[in-house]
Structure 1
Amino acid sequence: MTIESLIACLAETLGIFKTKLQMAMPIIMVIFCYEGIWTTNILDWVDSGITSGCVRGQRGEGSIKVSPKLSLEFRRSAAAAAAVVLAACQGATVNKTAAKGKSLLSPRRNLKPASSHIWKLNHPSQSIVLPGLVFRGIWVERNHGYRPVWHLIQHFKQTQQSLPIEMSIDIVSNRKIAGQSLASIGYGLMRLTWTPNPPSEEKAFEAILTFLKSGGNLLNTGEFYGNPPDHLNDNLELLARFFNAYPQWAQEGKCFISAKGGMNLDNGKINAPDGSMEGLRRSVENINKKLGGQKKMDLFQMARVDQTRPIEEVIKNMKVLINEGHFKHIGLSEASAQTIRRAHAVHPIAAVEVEYSPWALEIESNGVLDICKELGIVIIAYSPLGLGMLTGKIKSPDDIPLGDMRHHFERFQPENFYHNLKLAQDIEEVANRKGSTPTQITLSWLLAQCNLIIPIPGSSRAEGVKEALGSLKVQLSDEETKKIREVVDKADIKGVRYNAHHQASLFV
């Protein structure tokens, strides 16, 4: 029996979709061939009035929100469909909790994948492909028999009908900071305020909302992410206004704020790092104050290592501030492998923020990547798109706005620019063959390097945010990943990352 005839047979047998989504089944069974079978009694969840919840699993997580204005029957149907689709994307095999403490996924019984009740359709030709997603081994239980739900997916393929549900999906393995799951792509907020021509507040809010509603949760900000001398705190103040406008996103667990600080900002300038107790206290108190009180930062990172005092002293000072409740986790930025190890011996380092992209590979050879793997420290990769060079949108120095800091960097000088552009062109060729974009290929490749990496691309437009998150749907084969590595390794990027003064503060 072909997959097409199977779909037709089941659709007729079960009488599904005769009127919208009238799926009157008592229990939805979602079967995962990864590590066994788990059941979700999502209809009890909907009947009890809960209208939002979350599916999480080994390969990612997804959230569901069903409109309470719909009829109960329609909500049951919509929630059932959402559970199947979301859980299929996740490969979830773990017990999770929906709103109000109701169990969304519960291991009521752990059946064997070889059970005689189950038709195993795991051949590649028996997969239904939707844009960026492949569904395999999805099943429902109706009465006492098991049936695959290819008909469900096929229905939406054929009709292009959208569910009355808000769904967000992250199909790449979750990263964790101190046990808290984070989406695999973060959002760097710097260019919302620290740029010659910042976007309007409306556009900035739209970009942040797009990220959060799509399942993202890591927002990366900084105490000095604004145009000096009078607007250094603009990024924090923008976030404060965002949380005032959308207080639901300030609730615990809705988003995770990492903030860089610890710099002397006297006279409106970004001066040297200050890891003293007084300097750090001033920084963290100012960050939380500027955030407006609705939400504190979760992760505090020294923007650069204070070379005037031992790192052990700095970390001990941070421990005091954690105990006082200013933030939860300690991070470093642009620290050497040795410094990371010494710091981690005093208090667990939750994350290290470094520049990492196909044209900034230093952490692969200087020990930073290795020490983070050894200690299980998340790597927050800033400028993952080579300061925009790898997006495919920059073709000449004239494409960079006047007053942009990139005009001062060696890699963007005319004598280096066109040589470095070759890497971007090579990645663009890969993207064209893949039917993707250079941004998505770059981020997907970066994620494939290590499951501790969280890139934080920083588009100022909602469309750019969507494009970056689209990288989570790009599946690179081992051969494609290898070929991109060959392109990256032969690129021989010209010019250092910063000027001599700032270069001296890297990896110390």
Structure 2
Amino acid sequence: MIQTTKLGGTAADVVVAKVAHGLMTMTMRGNVPDEQAFESIKSGVDSLPPGVKMMLNSGEYSLALTVHLTLTLCRPTADFYGEGHGIGNLELLARFYDKYPEYADRTFLSVKVETIFKTSVERSITALRGTKKIDLFQPARLMREFTVEDHVRYLSAMIKEGKFDHLGFSEVGAASLRRGHAVYPISVAEIEISPMSYEEETKKVIAVAAELDIAINAYSPLGHGLTTGNIKTVEDLNIWRSRRRLTLHRQNFEHNQILVAALVAMAGKKGCTPAQLSIAWVGSLGDKIIPLPGSSRKERTLENLGATKVDMTTEDMAEIASILEKHPVRGHRYFGESVDVRLWG
């Protein structure tokens, strides 16, 4: 039986699968054929019992945030979620809902966009062409020029205008999450959680979200693919450059592979895939923590959902805690030890 949970804030009555579906890979590195993408989405939704929605995470970007050690600027670069333009992911979804309109009510659409909110929201709505209303909107990062409270007041006004229904945050720190929620209920906070990324700030966000009954979307639960055990050498990282963030030096990679090997061995003992073990571990960190792996293939979507059937016992959680303690991750999520973009805003 696939596990389910409820979201938080104004979406507290929405029941979703305990694993969400990230759509980024469908358009980020070259467009996946529509039928392949559609089957990937449908397979997950079709696996759910009546009344349970699949949370889809899409996005629209025309800016990529570049972090300098001085935390200075954003600069224009290539699009994140769409090859050639930032609405490609949403345009794909519009085609999906055109072909399968009955799936609009069976999915909960979270849209993550750049920080020019009004422009981004309008562009996202236009890209969807009325096929599906945005259920939840979340800025990709908080802008340092404005307070958290200003962000929430501005965005909640757009909810009252009927632009979207619920509010989320992405890459938000614990203090900012608490401050924002005090102005308007935050339904979902999206942060990175995996065996490769489980820092003290992450734990603080988890604690605040649990206290305030806010759901968490845990993106990259596979450590950008590192915990699948399929990446054997540093050279394998060339296919997805951001994976180098945790492996800036060859010695870091070799050290981190010891941790990965321990997780792969544990998955073998439990009779699940290493990917399922990582996803199940992330989901077991809290009742409303929803792992958010990406998938562009039906078989991968079903494998990810299968993680909700992996029984993580107290002993299992203790074993993984021991592995992480014995083999602490070397390297950093982004570009330097002193930088955590969740602190923006």
TM-score, normalisation: structure 2: 0.87
Deviation at 1:364, TM superposition (A): 5.7
Equivalent residue number for residue 54 of structure 2? 217
Instruction: Give the conservation status (yes or no) of the 8 Å contact 2:221–2:293.
Output: yes
Equivalent residue number for residue 196 of structure 2? 359
Q: Does 1:427 align with 2:263?
A: yes
Equivalent residue number for residue 248 of structure 1? 102
Instruction: Give the conservation status (yes or no) of the 8 Å contact 1:191–1:459.
Output: yes
The structure with more radius of gyration: 1
- Separation in 2 of the partners of 1:373 and 1:363? 15
- Separation in 1 of the partners of 2:203 and 2:189? 14
- Separation in 2 of the partners of 1:442 and 1:202? 28
Find the residue that maps to 1:174 and give its secondary structure. strand
- Separation in 1 of the partners of 2:310 and 2:85? 38
Of 454, 472, 481, 2:290 maps to 454
The AA in structure 2 aligned to 1:226 is: Y
Deviation at 1:409, TM superposition (A): 2.3
- Separation in 2 of the partners of 1:396 and 1:319? 46
Q: Does 1:194 align with 2:48?
A: no
Q: Does 1:226 align with 2:81?
A: yes
Instruction: Give the conservation status (yes or no) of the 8 Å contact 2:97–2:131.
Output: yes
Find the residue that maps to 1:219 and give its secondary structure. strand
Structure 2, unmatched stretches of 5+, are 62-79
User: Are the structure 2 counterparts of residues 401 and 463 from structure 1 closer, same or farther at C-alpha, using a change threshold of 3 Å?
Assistant: farther
The AA in structure 2 aligned to 1:461 is: R
Mapping for residues 26-105 of structure 1, pairs under 5 Å:
none
Which range is displaced more, 481-490 or 330-339?
Answer: 481-490
- Separation in 1 of the partners of 2:217 and 2:331? 23
Q: Does 1:474 align with 2:326?
A: no
- Separation in 1 of the partners of 2:96 and 2:249? 37
Which range is displaced more, 407-416 or 330-339?
Answer: 407-416
Mapping for residues 479-498 of structure 1, pairs under 5 Å:
479-498=315-334
Residues 65-96 of structure 1 show CA distances to partners (whole Å, capped at 9, x for unaligned) of: xxxxxxxxxxxxxxxxxxxxxxxxxxxxxxxx
Find the residue that maps to 2:129 and give its secondary structure. coil
Find the residue that maps to 2:15 and give its secondary structure. strand
Which range is displaced more, 427-436 or 407-416?
Answer: 407-416
Deviation at 1:176, TM superposition (A): 2.3
Instruction: Give the conservation status (yes or no) of the 8 Å contact 1:410–1:499.
Output: no
- Separation in 2 of the partners of 1:209 and 1:429? 32
Larger strand fraction of residues: 1
Q: Does 1:440 align with 2:295?
A: no
Equivalent residue number for residue 15 of structure 2? 181
Equivalent residue number for residue 260 of structure 1? 112
Query: Paired residues, what number?
Result: 319
User: Are the structure 2 counterparts of residues 484 and 501 from structure 1 closer, same or farther at C-alpha, using a change threshold of 3 Å?
Assistant: closer
**Structure with larger RCO (C-alpha < 8 A, sep 6+):** 2
Mapping for residues 67-466 of structure 1, pairs under 5 Å:
169-170=1-2, 172-177=3-8, 178=11, 179-195=13-29, 197-215=30-48, 217-224=54-61, 225-227=80-82, 230-250=84-104, 252=105, 254-261=106-113, 263=114, 273=115, 279-362=116-199, 367-400=204-237, 402=239, 404-406=240-242, 408-411=244-247, 413-466=249-302
Residues 345-368 of structure 1 show CA distances to partners (whole Å, capped at 9, x for unaligned) of: 110011110001111112566621
Instruction: Give the conservation status (yes or no) of the 8 Å contact 2:18–2:290.
Output: yes
Find the residue that maps to 2:284 and give its secondary structure. helix
Structure 1, unmatched stretches of 5+, are 1-168, 264-272, 274-278
User: Are the structure 2 counterparts of residues 232 and 322 from structure 1 closer, same or farther at C-alpha, using a change threshold of 3 Å?
Assistant: same
